[in-house]
Amino acid sequence: MIALVSDIHGNWPALQAVLRETDALGCRVVSLGDVAGYYPQLNECVRELERRGVVNVLGNHDHYLVSGLDCPRSRSATACIRHQRTVATPACRAWLARSKPLVRLHGIAMVHGGWNDPLDEYLVNVGEEHFDGLPGSLFASGHTHLPLVRRWTGRAYVNPGSVGQPRDGDPRAAYALVDGGRIELRRVAYDIDATAAATKAAGFGEHFYKNLYVGKRIGS
């Protein structure tokens, strides 16, 4: 059984809660990218994923961190990435830099965004035509922070939602289980206060974490 996680964004308490559940279920974990960004405990997240041998698909925030680029559309995201660059260990940077934008594993074709732009395409109302001409029958991506499953004849698509910053109005960490032809979206409560405290300790105000309590993006 495969557990798909995505958009962890340095939210260590949220990742811990999800991993406790996936461990109890006996899952192999795969990350669909954006371990970096937004919340301050990037090193803790990467250290644990690397220890477990988790494969990570390259996300746009991961790319910003290792490339030195800023986020072109968000000052908040840029501020967080710039902070993470100052604290990321060499081992953390190296692990993120080894991430590939396109991965096929366990029979699942995976990107972070979409197949037209693996890093930064948003698949919100995705239709089957998006996958025309692509090999495979099961596709997965993240990036939107919105859990989604779509099924067609002989094909399926899953977005597990976000572990670290859900944006669908549910503050619980999100992930997905894939077991053969079965796909299940799951939610796990976690200690949001702990994430807020770590964010404050890193020098960021409530603007950067109050959204977590309502399951929305920063500034919503």
> What residue spans define the domains of the chain?
2-213
23 pLDDT more than 90: yes
Other Cβ atoms less than 10 A from the Cβ of 18: the count is 27
pLDDT digits (tens, 9 = 90+) for 4-14: 999 999 999 99
What local confidence, expressed as pLDDT, does residue 180 receive?
Answer: 87
Instruction: Report how far residue 66's alpha carbon sits from residue 50's, in angstroms, rounded to the nearest whole number.
Output: 16
What local confidence, expressed as pLDDT, does residue 181 receive?
Answer: 86
Question: Reduced to 3 DSSP states, what percent helix, strand and coil does the chain have, rounded to the nearest 5?
Answer: 35, 20, 45
The pTM assigned to this predicted structure is: 0.97
Fold of 2-213: Purple Acid Phosphatase; chain A, domain 2 (3.60.21)
In sequence order, the 6+-apart residues with CB closer than 8 A to the CB of 46 are 35, 91, 92, 95, 96
Average pLDDT over residues 43-48: 98
Average pLDDT over residues 70-77: 95
Residue 72 CB-density burial (10 A; 0-12 exposed, 13-18 middle, 19+ buried):
exposed
Residue 83 CB-density burial (10 A; 0-12 exposed, 13-18 middle, 19+ buried):
middle
What local confidence, expressed as pLDDT, does residue 218 receive?
Answer: 96
Instruction: Report how far residue 200's alpha carbon sits from residue 208's, in angstroms, rounded to the nearest whole number.
Output: 9
pLDDT classification of 178: cutoffs 50, 70, 90? very high
pLDDT classification of 220: cutoffs 50, 70, 90? confident
51 pLDDT more than 90: yes
